[in-house]
Every structure is written in C-alpha cells, then in structure tokens.
Amino acid sequence: MRQGSVRRQGTVPGPRGADELGWDESLYEDEGEGESSATGDGDGNPRSGGRKGTGTTRRRKGRRALRWFALVLAVLILGTAAAGYLYYEHLNGNIDTSPMPEGNRAPEATPNAAGQTPLNILLIGSDARNSAENQKLGGAKETFNGTPLADVQMLLHLSADRSNMSVISMPRDTLLQMPECTDPDTGKVYPATQGRVMTNTSLGRGGPGCTVLAWEKLTNIHINHFMMVDFAGVVSMADAIGGVPVCVDANIHSRNSKGEGSGLKLEKGTTYVQGEQALQWLRTRYGFEDGSDIGRAKAQHMYMNAMVRELRENATLSSPGKLRRLAEEATSALEVDEGLDTVKKLYDLSNELKRVPPRRITMTTMPYEYVGARVQPKPGDAEQLFRLVRDDVALDGKDSKDSKAKKKDQEKTREESASDDPAAEPAEIGVQVVNGTATPTTASVPGRASALVALLRGKGYARAAADPSQLPRQERTVVRFPGADLEGDARAVAKSLGLPPSSVEESTEVTGVTLVVGSDWRTGDVPPKPDEQDDKTPESADAMNGADDKACMHVNPNFTW
C-alpha cells in the first residue's frame, strides 16, 4: 500500500510511485514545519496552527525539486556521454592511416567449412628519423628525415577458427625482387626492380603498402591489414604497458669499440624493461648470439611473447587510468591501414587476438641461407613455412583431430562439388593464361603462358589467350573462376590438362576462367603429381612457443661485462 493512500498526521503524499523508485520522501518536506502543518480536519479546513494550502505548496515544491533533480541527472548523463564521445573521437583522431595497395595482390584465403577465414596482419617497425624524438632514439644524425627503412617485419597469422596464432619474422637484409609500387601520397610509381634488393627498402618505395606487396609477392599469402610503429611509438607503448620481463644468460652491454650498438645494458637474469630500454632490447644486434638480424628477431620474439603474457596476467591493466593511457599511446603510436582506422575496429581486432592462449602462439623466423653478408629464403623450408600459413595449418603441430578432419572434409567437398550448369564446349570457353612460375630465387619462365595457350588450343580451347601481366609467384597451378556460372567451365579446363579438382577455386580477382601456371609446372605438357604434404614446421624456422617463460637470450662473450 502506498503512503499516499492513507491520511496520516505529519505525512505529505509523495509523487506517484516515488517510493517505488527509491527516492527519499524527505526531499519533499518543508524544513521547520510541524506535523500538523500538513493536515486538515475532516471538512477540509486547516486545523489550528496550520496554513491553508500548505500541502499543495509542498507538492509543487516537490515537483519542482523532482524536475530539478531530473534536469541535473539528465545534464550529468548527457555530459558524460558527450565527454565519452568526444574522447572516442579524440582517440580516432590520433590514428594515422595509409591505404592498402591496389591490384597485383595475392589471392584471398578460402573460408573453412564453417565459413571462417584466417586473418593476416603485417607488423612493421620503421627506423624513420622524422622527428627530434625519433632522431634522439635512433641516433645516426646524418639520416635525419631520410628515407625510412622497414627494419622489423613480422607476419601475424590468426587461424580461421581463432584457436592459434603464428608469427613469421623476415630478416631486414633478406634479398627480394621488389614489385611495382605507387606512393599513395605523391602518386609516384616505383618500377619493379630488375635485381634483388634488401627487403627493408620496401618502405621507401611507397610506404607500408609496398611492404605488403613485397611480402605477398614472396609468400603468396594475402595480407588483410598492416600496423606500423616507429622508435618513439615503441617507447611510449612500452611505458604504458608498464614493463615486460626479458632474460639474458650473462651481463650484456651492446656497445663495441666503434660505439656501435643499441646501448642496452642489463645484468644476467630477468629484468623488466620499459620505455627506451625496451626499444634498446628490440634493436639490439651487437651482443645477442652471432650479432646478426637473426639473433635480433629471436629477442623480438621473446619480448612479444612476454608482452602478451604480461597483458593477460597483469591485473593493473584493469585500471581505467592505465587503460586510458595505453589507448592514448597506442592510437598515437600506430599507423594502420584504412580497415583499422577507428578505436572500435582496433578493439574488435584485439578481442579476436586475445582469444588465442599463449601456449597456442608460435613465433618463427623465415628459414634462410646466406648470400655473402645478406640472406635469402632457404629453398624448400621457406616455401614449406609459407604454405602452412596459406593452408591455415597451426605451426605448433597441435591442430585437433576435429580441425584436421574438417579441413579434409572441406577439401573433399570442394573436389567433388560441381556447378549446376554443365560446361560449355571447349571452343566456346574463354581462358586467360597467366604466368606465375617465379620462385623465391628465380624469375618466371619466359613464354610459359604462351606455351600453355598452345597446349589448350590443341585440346580444342580455341579462345585461350596469354595474359601479358604476371601475378606474384604462384606455388601451385590453379584454375580460377569468378562465379558459379563458370565453375563447370573451370573444372572442364582443369580436367583436360590433368589438374586435380582441388586446383579449381573461386576468386574475386578474376573476371573469367583463368589458368595461373605455378612454379610447380615450369616445364613440360603434363602437370606434376601433387606430393603427399608434410605439415611439420621446418626446424630451420627456429619455432618458439608463446608460453615459454624460461627462454633466455645468449650473450656474445665479446659484449659482456
């Protein structure tokens, strides 16, 4: 029963339902009034000592107080919401973006049986000395405002089912043939290199988009996003995280007699590094192992693994102030592609990444071999590692039996499926033939597309024609089609050439039936039989598990103290 339903001396009926909303009735009582002041006699006249109309007055005051309270509450709510929106927009304004490259891209990954697709993100560390802070941190005064180099390059692969993550580092002095790139800011076109150059020069040939193209040309892995950070960005983010544990097996000072080195100085054992010291760790080459970029990549893997564990385990990151600072530093430090241009998109991506536990994260370095003082992808092993990523195979070898079975079922379904429409007669099917026969160490076979055109015409495909352009290297020969109405034609072409059904794939990158001749068919008229695939990660990839918290960098005795 509501209070207002019974007349009671000293009580003023409250607004309807006020008690149910939890408001204090005392808000509506006039200070200094006696109990009798709110009531009258049975005839509606005020009792002795009362004032006519007091109840009505108090109700009006109550309503005014309620309106005032509601107004203040509304202002506070709207003000908070506005502040939140303005801060969100402020963070969005921190983010620098560059476009992904257009054209000449590696094919997108095929969805798994559940319709999920993997995610590939290229992480780039720039050595740009384009500010006083970057110049101070990077040294080498003569390079101020010079052409930046992509001195750290890591491909992060998130599996389609989000159960595991793989990372491949490429040494900065890897020799590659650079593709044609266009600077999105100036429109300047950088032609493809005739010979091979160091991979870190890609950044100066049109920005991070060119680095993406260089990776795709080498690996044939479609890259969805990129993130780039400079020296100052590494320092600010390392400070915001609050320290990451790293380990060395001896005292280290990364500085030689010529003054070369990062300046890192640590005692033997585990140290929490942050800020400039974290940057020194990530840049150290002189002092780790053999003093090469390979040792540096290993140290970077240790740091990333430790950072992931720290972000998961450090309770202080639940602090709003800590998270706010991390958001500020991260959005200011990163340059990303336009697909990651808002805080929400970055937040959604982080939620995808954090689904993977550290024990299912595998860090690797691209298998390599020396060419003088430089390196090149190691034949066989490098391609094996790239294929595992393309095929979404976990590098830790722990794909579940269910996952492997689903992949096999998917492949079987794809091989057995056929278009509802029968194939046209060979003479009516137009076929574009593209040369994709390059390997990591050799150029495409001249005239290979024309040779396959002649082979197809001999089988009745009179409309077959060679495409003068060349795709990034294609390891496996495939027949692509743009939609279901041409699937039957594509399968007929594959069958006539002796290609397996699994070589037929739908792709938005083509407008008609397209034969892409891969590096597996560089000579002859008969395609090679596919080998039984080995899904083991090559030992030369130097795999490191994300849960390994006992890893310690080996210190070169010449850099100890």
Q: DSSP string covering 1-61, please?
A: --GGGS--TT-PPPSTTTGGGT--GGGGSPTT--GGGG-B-TTSPBPTT--TTHHHHHHHH
pLDDT the model gives residue 236: 75
Instruction: Give the separation between CA 389 and CA 402, rounded to whole angstroms.
Output: 19
pLDDT the model gives residue 522: 93
pLDDT the model gives residue 71: 67
pTM of the model: 0.69
Whole-angstrom CA distances from 157 to 45, 106, 164, 225, 391 are: 84, 15, 9, 11, 11
pLDDT the model gives residue 276: 86
Nearest to 470 by CA among 436, 520, 447: 436
pLDDT the model gives residue 186: 92
169 class by beta-carbon count within 10 Å (0-12 exposed, 13-18 middle, 19+ buried): buried
- Which residues fall within 8 angstroms of residue 515, CB to CB, at 6 or more apart? 431, 432, 433, 434, 452, 456, 477, 478, 479, 493, 497
Q: What is the CA radius of gyration of the chain?
A: 33
Nearest to 399 by CA among 67, 164, 82, 49: 164
The enclosing H or E element of 77 equals helix 54-94
pLDDT the model gives residue 145: 55
| Residue ranges of domains in the chain | 3-79, 97-399, 404-534
Sign, CA torsion 540/546/549/554 = positive
Q: DSSP string covering 303-333, please?
A: HHHHHHHHHHH-GGGGSHHHHHHHHHHHHHH
pLDDT the model gives residue 53: 47
Nearest to 352 by CA among 208, 106, 164: 164
Q: pLDDT tens per residue, the chain (561 residues)? A: 334 333 333 444 443 443 433 333 333 344 443 434 344 444 444 444 444 445 555 555 556 666 666 766 666 656 656 667 777 788 888 889 999 998 888 888 888 878 899 999 999 888 754 555 545 555 555 554 567 888 889 999 999 999 999 999 999 999 999 999 999 999 999 999 988 999 999 999 999 999 999 999 899 899 999 988 876 667 777 777 788 899 999 999 999 888 889 899 999 999 999 888 888 888 898 999 988 888 989 998 998 898 888 877 764 455 667 677 777 877 887 889 999 999 888 888 888 988 999 999 999 999 999 999 899 999 889 989 998 999 999 999 998 666 656 666 655 555 555 445 588 999 999 999 999 998 877 888 999 999 999 999 999 999 999 998 776 667 789 999 998 889 899 999 999 999 988 788 888 778 999 999 998 999 999 998 766 667 899 999 999 999 999 999 999 999 999
Which CATH fold topology does 97-399 show? Aminopeptidase (3.40.630)
